[in-house]
Amino acid sequence: MNKQELVNAIAEDTGTTKAAAEAALNSFIAQVSKTLKNNESVVLAGFGTFEVRSRAARSGRNPQTGATIEIAASKVPAFKPGAALKKEVNG
């Protein structure tokens, strides 16, 4: 499912217009992004948690040349599913 299909499904489920559903989805994405940028997590009980995880610096290899390169430490967004979502997915 892509974003437009999700917007259509939300509009149909809630009985709102597609424009209103898209505005709500865009707001949700913006708020989650802003919260993660502040290094905080977003917890949706029964669904899951959006959080920021740290990756340590490490060495890697350039696949074309085989040369060793240093990969800098970074922060990455992550999603940890909740128990209810896991149960739903697994039947």
| CATH, residue 82 | 4.10.520.10
pTM over 0.85: no
Claim to verify: residue 45 and residue 34 sit in the same structural domain? no
**Which domain does 26 fall in, by range?**
1-38
Claim to verify: residue 69 and residue 54 sit in the same structural domain? yes
Total domains, the chain: 2
Claim to verify: residue 26 and residue 45 sit in the same structural domain? no
- Yes or no: say if 51 and 70 are a contact pair by the CB < 8 Å rule: no
Claim to verify: residue 22 and residue 49 sit in the same structural domain? no
Claim to verify: residue 26 and residue 49 sit in the same structural domain? no
- What was the pLDDT predicted at 91? 86
Q: Concatenated DSSP letters for 21-47?
A: HHHHHHHHHHHHHHHHHTT--EEETTT
- What was the pLDDT predicted at 73? 97
Claim to verify: residue 46 and residue 60 sit in the same structural domain? yes
Q: How many residues does the chain have?
A: 91
Q: What is the pLDDT of residues 12-49, one digit of tens each?
A: 999 999 999 999 999 999 999 999 999 999 999 999 99
By CB neighbour count within 10 A (0-12 exposed, 13-18 middle, 19+ buried), where does 19 fall?
A: exposed
* 57-81 average pLDDT score: 95
Claim to verify: residue 49 and residue 78 sit in the same structural domain? yes
Mean pLDDT (the chain) is 96
Claim to verify: residue 45 and residue 33 sit in the same structural domain? no
pLDDT level of residue 61 (50, 70, 90 thresholds): very high
